[in-house]
Amino acid sequence: MNRVYNFSAGPSQLPEEVLREAADEMLDCNGTGQSVMEMSHRSKAYEPIIKECEALVRELMNIPANYKVLFLQGGASMQFAMVPMNLKKKGKAAYVNTGVWSKKAISEAKKYLDVDVVASSEDKNFNYIPKIEKITGDYDYVHITLNNTIMGTKWAYLPETGDIPLVTDASSCIFSEPLDVSKFGIIYAGAQKNLAPAGVTLVIIREDLIPETLPVENTPTMLQYNIHSENGSMYNTPPCYSIYMMGKVLKWIKANGGAKGMAKRNIEKAELLYNYLDSSNFYHATVEKGSRSLMNVPFLTKYDGDKATEINKKFVTGATAKGLVNLAGHRLVGGMRASIYNAMSLEGVKALIAYMEEFAKEN
């Protein structure tokens, strides 16, 4: 069996060591004679799995004691509603619009409170992060999307918000580099980029932001942070297998230097690819320097119009034949996109660049 280099934006490549270990335990996990897929979430067999996963999240992110770690469902998209539902007090929030997922978060929040879009990069098709160093106002919270999967941008700084809680969607950059949790009120992330198979959403929330009662009338029980906090993420059956896999990925991250180790690994990969793009007369990166993501790298060829469409299709087809898969760019950006999350090796990026060089010479 030949493994491919999977450049998918998500669900994405997982560490091979983790997959092999999970495969070995598929029929018998920890001597229980059963798969995690078969375990009761309230059993003595499963309890240490979820507890260990939370402990690893806390250790590797250096999470202060006054934060709760929750394992929820519904993806980051569910958090687009849960955040305004749970944090609404004054009835107004500030959002920074940096791409597709920011726009979806804004649209959802508007159903529950007034939204001020205090900055946006839509004027240049979201190819940069706007400069807004301080945000003030009568806001319940400020929301940013830390890494923009589709557009390939990331926040290289955090805006100053004073006493206003800063909330972020970190789905596509969680654990890719160190992050100061204390600067945020809530960090949420769908797991299917850097942490686990799809199905579980990691939520890190400061305890004082968990309301005892909700201001949004008739809020469904499952959309209340306090319910999940009080029940240890087990109000209902959690995504047991995805949490189990997250624990294994976190052990892999720890064994490879933790968040600092991931940052070193990811910077090396990203610099190699961006340096090639910047030196090429055939390809170019779409994102301005200073706003470039370590995780998602969109790029275009020198062609426009119908010729570009033809070349892009040819590029992706040829790459797939060489075991470099899921490189088609998003329709809003075009071209190609290489998502190089934690599990992508340096060898994978080198293989991609070698193919890009070969393709450029032929076309």
Q: Quick one: pLDDT at residue 34? A: 96
8 A C-beta contact, residue 97 and residue 120:
yes
Neighbours of 316 (CB within 10 A): 18
Q: Quick one: pLDDT at residue 339? A: 98
Q: Quick one: pLDDT at residue 214? A: 77
How far lies 123's CA from each of 99, 120, 145, 148, 161, in Å?
11, 8, 17, 16, 24
Which pairing describes strands 92-97 and 114-120: parallel, antiparallel, or unpaired?
A: parallel
Cα 173 from Cα 291, distance rounded (Å): 14
**In sequence order, which ranges of the chain are alpha helices (DSSP H)?**
16-24, 47-61, 75-87, 100-109, 225-230, 240-255, 258-279, 305-321, 346-362
Return the HEC string of 271-296. HHHHHHHHHCCCEEECCCCCCECCCE
**Which residues form the catalytic set?**
101, 169, 193
Q: Which residue shows structure tokens 């190609």?
A: 336
Which pairing describes strands 153-154 and 147-148: parallel, antiparallel, or unpaired?
A: antiparallel
Cα 104 from Cα 58, distance rounded (Å): 29
Neighbours of 332 (CB within 10 A): 12
How far lies 52's CA from each of 17, 47, 350, in Å?
19, 9, 35
8 A C-beta contact, residue 292 and residue 270:
yes
Q: Quick one: pLDDT at residue 1? A: 63
The alpha carbon of residue 27 and the mean position of all alpha carbons in its chain are separated, in whole angstroms, by: 30
Q: HSE of 175 in the Cβ direction (CA atoms, 13 Å)?
A: 29
Q: Which residue shows structure tokens 């978060």?
A: 105
Structure tokens, 321: 């034949």
8 A C-beta contact, residue 268 and residue 350:
no
DSSP-assigned letter for residue 328: B
8 A C-beta contact, residue 49 and residue 247:
yes
Structure tokens, 22: 């999970």
Neighbours of 107 (CB within 10 A): 11
Region at 192 (left for phi over 0; alpha for psi -120 to 50; beta for the rest)? alpha
Structure tokens, 44: 């003595």
| Backbone φ and ψ of 162, nearest 5° | 60, -125
Q: Which residue shows structure tokens 């990203």?
A: 270
Structure tokens, 230: 């009080």
| Backbone φ and ψ of 134, nearest 5° | -140, 135
Domains of the chain: residue spans and CATH = 16-255 (3.40.640.10), 258-362 (3.90.1150.10)
List the pLDDT tens digit at each of the 363 positions of the chain. 689 999 999 999 999 999 999 999 999 999 999 999 999 999 999 999 999 999 999 999 999 999 999 999 999 999 999 999 999 999 999 999 999 999 999 999 999 999 999 999 999 999 999 999 899 999 999 999 999 999 999 999 999 999 999 999 999 999 999 999 999 999 999 999 999 999 999 999 999 999 887 777 788 999 999 999 999 999 999 999 999 999 999 999 999 999 999 999 999 999 999 999 999 999 999 999 999 999 999 999 999 999 999 999 999 999 999 999 999 999 889 999 999 999 999 999 999 999 999 999 999
Q: Quick one: pLDDT at residue 218? A: 80
Cα 26 from Cα 23, distance rounded (Å): 5
